[in-house]
């Protein structure tokens, strides 16, 4: 199993994004103060169901999952800037490879309106061979 390695590679790639701002980045299980203005984002690595894809000296496992980046924006503001940010994140992540980690096509998902802000999710499936 390579969950910790996969997550560390993905977080490192997030921090290499040209628009990365540490004060606007929330990580799982780490205290975070929501900015009072502007956008902020949370990255979650969702590990999925693994597959045995071959058998030689030992089983070969393919680990599957998805990177989900939630992007939050205050209510009652034009959404063009959050959409550009989500597009930038999707472009940064999709088709990225690092060793055995391969990220696939990004999708931008509009989350229904929430009382405390507007939200888009950037979802990128991955596989680790």
Over residues 110-124, the pLDDT tens digits come to: 997 777 789 999 999
pLDDT at 28: 86
Per DSSP, helices labelled H in the chain are 3-15, 80-93
Task: Quote the CA–CA distance of 67 and 104 in Å, as a whole number.
Answer: 10
The Cβ-side half-sphere exposure at 96, using a 13 Å CA radius, reads: 21
Task: Quote the CA–CA distance of 79 and 127 in Å, as a whole number.
Answer: 31
- Classified as helix, coil or strand, 9 is helix
Ordered by where they begin, the domains of the chain are 3-128 (3.30.2000.20)
Closest CA to 82 of 30, 41, 126, 36: 41
Mean pLDDT for 18-31 is 93
Strands 25-27 and 40-47: parallel
Over residues 48-69, the pLDDT tens digits come to: 988 888 888 888 889 999 999 9
């Amino acid at each position: 199993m390579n969950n910790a390695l996969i997550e560390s590679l993905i977080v490192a790639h997030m921090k290499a994004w040209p628009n990365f701002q540490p004060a606007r980045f929330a990580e799982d299980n780490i205290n975070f103060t929501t900015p009072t203005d502007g956008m902020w984002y949370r990255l979650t690595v969702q590990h999925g169901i693994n597959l045995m894809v071959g058998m030689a000296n030992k089983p070969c496992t393919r680990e599957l999952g998805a990177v989900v980046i939630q992007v939050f924006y205050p209510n009652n503001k034009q959404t063009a800037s959050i959409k550009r940010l989500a597009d930038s994140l999707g472009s940064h992540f999709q088709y990225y490879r690092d060793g055995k980690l391969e990220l696939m096509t990004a999708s931008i998902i509009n989350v229904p309106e929430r009382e405390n802000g507007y939200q888009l999710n950037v979802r990128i499936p991955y596989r680790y061979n």
